[in-house]
Amino acid sequence: MEATTDTFNQGSFPPAQLQLLLFVDNRSSSQEQMWQVRRTLETLSDPQTFQLEVMNVTEQPHLTEHFKLIATPALIRLYPTPQQILAGTNLATQLENWWPRWQQILEEEHHALHRDRSGVPLPSSPLSINSSSELLRLSDEIFQLQQDKVDLESQIRFKDRIIAMLAHDLRNPLTAALLAIDTAGLGFSSEDHHKACLSPEMGQQMLQQAKNQLREIDRMVTDILQAERGSNHSLVVQPDRLQLQPLCQEVIQQLQEQISHKNQGISMDIPSDLPMVYADRERIRQVLTNLLDNAIKYTPQGGSIQISMLHRTSQKVQVSICDTGPGIPPEKHSKIFEASFRLQRDEQSDGYGLGLSVCQRIIQSHYGQIWVSSPSPSGSCFHFNLPVYPYAT
């Protein structure tokens, strides 16, 4: 419904003119009050001394927000300023009571507008309601366009980072996977299978290496897709009872080559009576892989990584992954989980800061928490908790 001006407002109007804005909705009681206000105005004054515009809040909600209305119908005196709002079920009665005062304010404003300190008339007049409404609408549109511009710029920057990741980070595991497959293929290159170039055991190791690298690529792609969806999109999880220790051992085995390459020691401290948790297996695998991959990356040659699990309460199991790397400054602990946030020291390193933000979304989708601590001058510990499976025995 377009904003409409009463028929008694045709043509130009003098500067000293009350400007009124009536907000209504589609309820019959609201429509009845609109007609009562109109009839009251017609009996109170000459139509040339005021201008009334009726707005339907269901069609123009941006104006409702702009004027901070909490109920309709509502009558707003736009001019003379400051604005005044009348609301309630007796608008016509309130209008009658305020009308003498409004006329007095209008007369005072009229004199003020047409005379400066030296008594020289000033050629000024208030904006019409139509002009004011149009300016408000345009202002809202400009604000929305600015928001859209910020969102688009953010998406463009994100896509630029993804292109760089696809061109650089994915190349390493892809090359390793292809090399492993080619090497495994040597075991079948001889016409005489009894003189194969590789033993069955070595061929199996090469195929496992290719599988691990392809899993790494899949993890990167998953991180990209989940980060692109952003925090405003819900993360679908399919929780079930889950034993954390075997899953953790699988992830360590998957990353064993990286651990061995840096001659790192890895230890686990997991109670034998640790209860099962209620979680999505593949999502938690993703969290463990991300956190362990980071620990391996930042732990120096010959360093150590420790994985511990505690049944801290009857409802939660806590997992901690600690390393002996450079650590994270305490003032950055709250920002480290933000999408694409990177410490200054890491700006030239592989990766684009997506993994930790994805981990946070996964853990939060399980109604858990994830955080980081720096228990010593060097090293970091990442902790998260998960709900205990309620029917575990």
Q: What is the CATH number of domain 139-229?
A: 1.10.287
Inter-residue contact 199 to 188 (CB < 8 Å) = no
Instruction: Please tell me the predicted confidence (pLDDT) of residue 114.
Output: 61
Mean pLDDT value across the chain = 77
**By C-alpha distance, which of 336, 279, 348, 274 is closest to 310?**
274
Question: Tokens at residue 360, please?
Answer: 């946070």
Please give the DSSP secondary-structure letter assigned to residue 302.
T
Inter-residue contact 60 to 18 (CB < 8 Å) = no
Counting residues of the chain whose pLDDT is more than 70, the rounded percentage is 71
Q: Which residues are within 8 A (CB) of 162 and not within 5 positions of it... i.e. 6 or more apart? A: 224, 228, 352
Sequence letter at residue 138: L
What are 268-314's pLDDT values in tens digits?
Answer: 999 989 999 999 998 899 899 889 988 998 899 999 999 999 987 77
Domain 4-130: CATH superfamily, name plus number: Glutaredoxin (3.40.30.10)
Q: Which residues are within 8 A (CB) of 304 and not within 5 positions of it... i.e. 6 or more apart? A: 264, 265, 266, 267, 323, 324
pTM attached to this predicted model: 0.49
C-alpha atoms less than 13 angstroms from C-alpha of 309 in its C-beta half-sphere = 23
Sequence letter at residue 24: V
Q: Where are the domains of the chain?
A: 4-130, 139-229, 240-387
What are 168-212's pLDDT values in tens digits?
Answer: 566 667 777 788 787 777 665 555 555 556 677 777 777 877 877
CATH class for domain 240-387?
alpha beta
Q: Which residues are within 8 A (CB) of 393 and not within 5 positions of it... i.e. 6 or more apart? A: none
